[in-house]
């Protein structure tokens, strides 16, 4: 996969002949987390239930490291992916576009594949259990682009 599919497209991206984006979603919980707490007497700290989330669907350009995002506070689904693809297609219409995605069901569905074909976007699905091939999963790159600092 790496030598036959991914590397040739990354080489085209380095040469300025193609846009390659790595796509993934991050789901942030709106809840405080105590890293460390010690006291003589037990204290209760009131916190929200943690059911609210802030979702970020992002696409990281392989060569420029530019991040295109779609955010919401409900769910990431195929419509979210479609909105992100339309955003990318409008902004980067000058060259062919390839999106490298994992095997999430909302990305593999026929709705997303048909829209990608209509927009002229090539979708490359990563092999199962290969997060090391997804550039956007780098520990510092994606969360920092979303405005989150990891400690």
3-state secondary structure the chain: CHHHHHHHHHHHHHCCCCEEEEEEEEEEECCCCCCCCCCCCCCCCCCCCCCCEEEEEEEEECCCCCEEEEEECCCCCHHHHHHHHHHHHHHCCCCCEEEEECCCHHHHCHHHHHHHHHHCEEEEECCCCCHHHCHHHCCCHHHHHCCCCCC
| Number of structural domains the chain divides into | 1
Confidence of residue 150 (pLDDT cuts 50, 70, 90): very low
Under 8 Å between Cβ of 121 and 89: yes
Q: Is the pLDDT of residue 86 over 70?
A: yes
Token pair recorded at residue 87: 């955003």
Report which of residues 5 and 114 the model is more confident about.
114
Q: Which domain holds residue 92?
A: 2-28+52-145
Under 8 Å between Cβ of 57 and 86: no
| Residue tagged 């980067």 (tokens) | 92
The CA distance from 65 to 71, in Å, is 18
Answer whether residue 150 is part of any domain.
Answer: no
Answer whether residue 39 is part of any domain.
Answer: no
Answer whether residue 21 is part of any domain.
Answer: yes
Answer whether residue 38 is part of any domain.
Answer: no
Answer whether residue 35 is part of any domain.
Answer: no
Answer whether residue 79 is part of any domain.
Answer: yes
Token pair recorded at residue 41: 């007497």
Answer whether residue 37 is part of any domain.
Answer: no
Tens of pLDDT, residues 17-66: 999 999 999 888 777 766 666 677 777 777 766 677 889 999 999 999 89
Provide the CATH number for the domain around residue 109: 3.30.420.10
Least confident stretch, 42-56, 85-99, 108-122, 137-151:
137-151
Answer whether residue 62 is part of any domain.
Answer: yes
What pLDDT is attached to residue 148? 52
Report which of residues 129 and 111 the model is more confident about.
111
């Amino acid at each position: 996969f790496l030598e036959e599919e991914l590397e040739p497209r990354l080489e085209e991206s380095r040469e300025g002949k193609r846009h390659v984006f790595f796509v993934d979603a991050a789901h942030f919980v709106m809840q405080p987390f105590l890293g460390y707490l010690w006291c003589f007497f037990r204290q209760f700290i009131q916190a929200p239930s943690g059911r609210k989330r802030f979702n970020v669907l992002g696409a990281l350009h392989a060569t420029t490291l530019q991040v295109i995002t779609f955010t919401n506070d409900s769910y990431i689904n195929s419509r979210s992916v479609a909105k992100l693809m339309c955003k990318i297609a409008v902004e980067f219409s000058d060259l062919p576009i390839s999106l490298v995605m994992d095997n999430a069901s909302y990305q593999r569905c026929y709705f997303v594949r048909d829209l990608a074909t209509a927009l002229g976007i090539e979708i490359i699905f990563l092999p199962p259990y290969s997060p090391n091939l997804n550039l956007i999963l780098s520990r510092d790159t994606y969360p920092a682009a979303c405005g989150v600092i990891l400690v």
